[in-house]
Amino acid sequence: MLIAKVIGTTVSTIKEPTLEGRKLLILRQTDERGTLVGKPYVAVDTLDAGIGDLVLTAHGSSGRQTKITQNRPVDAVIMAVIDHLTVFGEVTYQKE
């Protein structure tokens, strides 16, 4: 899984019919302190994550192992909202 920050939303009128009603959020990978790294990507949100939240995303076929994403053409899903991260005993991120 990747550690990522939710940075935005997407709106699409024309899409695969099976995606109707699915929320597609824009994320960017972060390091263990929540600092943004890398390019934006899009994942399905099943947990009502908010803009600014740090989350974990699962990719590939693993992204389809939820009721909301199964058998759908999506390759990334938010599967956890992070409360805090600890690295070598130091709290590196804490949800506000």
Within the chain, what is the greatest distance between any pair of CA atoms? 47
Residue (of 81, 71, 79, 69) closest to 1 by Cα position: 79
Does residue 23 interact with a copy of itself by CB under 8 A?
Answer: no
One residue of 34, 45, 72, 96 binding a copy of itself per CB under 8 A: 72
- Count of residues interacting with a copy of itself (CB under 8 A): 63
- Is residue 80 helix, strand or coil? strand
Site pattern 43..62 for a copy of itself (x: CB under 8 A)? x--xxxx-xx---x-xxxxx
Name residue 78's beta-bridge partners: 45, 57
What minimum distance in Å lies between the beta carbon of 26 and a copy of itself?
A: 6
